[in-house]
Structure 1
Amino acid sequence: MTATQNGVQRVSGRAVTSDGWPVPFAVVTIIDAAGQQIGGTPVGDDGSFVVDDLPAGPCTVITSAVGHTPAARPVGGAGFGELGRVVLTRTGALELPAPGRWEIDPVHSRISASAFHLGITKVHGRLRTFTGHIDMGPDLAATRVSAAIEAASVDTDDERRDEHLRAPDFLDVLRFTEIRFDSTEIAQHTADHWTMFGDLRLKGMANRVALDVVYHGAGPDLWGGERAGFSATTQLSRDDFDISWNQSVIAGIFAIGRTLRIEIDIEAVRLPG
């Protein structure tokens, strides 16, 4: 923070959800050390905000939005207070899904993967057929997740490429029909941000992986049931699962990158009982 010439300060930032989406309906309120409001503004469409001409001195920036828990950030002294991302947690995310079994709804869920092609762009694909469930405990320490994916369901919108991905060079789906994940531990960082550790079995090899998980909350659906939403990302090395095929196009550049980025969106339905 650097002092401004006229002894006032500016505060700026961007209101976002835990997974980085802007909260365009958020409102910023700034109070001084005595609890008096000294400034405020609605945020822009991208969640960004700037408040100028604030009196010099310590203050607190409160960012709030309907359906979200307010976030309070202190700013001290005169100058420019750049808050960066101000994360607003969805109110529903403060409560875990009810204990019991939650089945993954494949119609409203998605598993996708991407890898660099020729070092300059990405190839995107999906694994279209999968099942799974969440055994929700009274807390995350007692919660476990299991999922099974049909390896042959890989789809990159190019049949010739997909046939190669199903072949022994890659997934070898005739020998290894299923990709399986079983969680072993969930570490909670905030109410809606967790890390899930587990064993991923792919092409006959098992390795421990870590998924960065965002919990989007739970609530009633249109049919009298309960649903919960999650998203997760991780990166995998193909070499860890004996998927080492490649072609060197130019020295140091391969046709397909060795690192896969996995992105997962899950909607789960609570089973009765």
Structure 2
Amino acid sequence: MSAPTTVPGYIAGTWNIDTPHSEIAYSVKHLGLAKSRGRFTAFTGQIVTAENILDSTVTAEIDAGSIATGNEYRDNHLKTDEFFDVANHPTITFRSTGIREDGDDYLIDGELTWRGTTVPTTLKAELNGFGQNPANDNATTIGISAETTIKRRDFGIGPEGNSFLGEQVKITLEIEAALQQ
């Protein structure tokens, strides 16, 4: 195995997700015609960048009840036991199990737990860089973009064989995280 790529300005440390400057969103086909989109507004997480970037870790917790689609009726429907079952499973979690290089990007292998079911999931991630964030007390900040596609039925989300709702759900993340001192 070759040595990991050197990342300009790379900083080893512990980073907490800056929720106001981050986004976790999804899209799923509706009626096979268009994409229905939503996002989660409440989440936390931590990134630990190791001396060797491939030894780094990621954890995240999402408040499933913070779903926001722009339609209150749909948001409330998604919170029911037919979809997210927020009453019994209020959080969605991700825990990395390994990181691999993928050209200039990275693959973050992990476990996604949603509705009490844990499924191996890989995020394709782009490390956007390191810098100072004047909107967050000039905190040293890391920026990461990532995405994955999951099968909603792997987690028991929505009815089987639903012609209204696609099986594949694309999840996208735009993350800024502040270095902890």
After TM superposition, is the score higher than 0.5?
yes
Question: Structure 2 residue aligned with 1:231, among 139, 142, 145?
Answer: 145
User: Shift of the alpha carbon at 1:187?
Assistant: 0.5
Aligned to 2:121: 209
Alpha-carbon distance change, 161 to 231 in structure 1, aligned in 2, over 3 angstroms: same
Question: In the TM superposition, what whole-angstrom CA distance separates every residue of 1:168-188 from its partner, at most 9, and x where no partner exists?
Answer: 000000000100000011101
Q: Please list the CA deviations of residues 79-119 of structure 1 after superposition, one character each: whole Å capped at 9, or x if unmatched.
A: xxxxxxxxxxxxxx833631111010000000000111100
Size of the aligned set, in residue pairs, is: 174
Matched, 1:257 2:166: yes
- 2:133 touches 2:141 (CA, 8 Å); kept in 1? yes
CA RMSD between the two structures: 1.5
Shift of 1:246: 5.4
CA distance in 2, matches of 1:181, 1:96: 26
Give the structure, 1 or 2, with the largest relative contact order (CA under 8 Å, sep 6 or more).
Answer: 2
- Please give the alpha-carbon distance, in whole angstroms, between the structure 2 residues aligned to 1:167 and 1:246: 16
Structure-1-length-normalised TM-score? 0.61
The equivalences for 1:147-162 within 5 A come to 147-162=60-75
Could you tell me whether the CA contact under 8 Å between 1:246 and 1:256 is conserved in 2? no
Q: 1:118 to 1:228 in 2, by over 3 A?
A: same
Alignment of 1:92-131 (within 5 A): 94-95=7-8, 97-131=10-44
User: Relative to structure 2, which stretch is displaced further, 122-131 or 134-143?
Assistant: 134-143
- Native 8 Å contact 2:153 2:160 kept in 1: no
Deviations along 1:187-242, one digit per CA (max 9) or x if unpaired, are 01234x11110000000000000111011110223234311101001101011111
Q: Which 4+ stretches in 1 moved above 2 angstroms?
A: 93-97, 220-225
User: Which among 145, 154, 159 is matched to residue 245 of structure 1?
Assistant: 159
Determine helix, strand or coil for the equivalent of 2:54. helix
1:133 equivalent in structure 2: 46
Identity %: 32
**TM-superposed deviation, 1:139:** 1.3
2:31/2:166 contact within 8 Å kept: yes
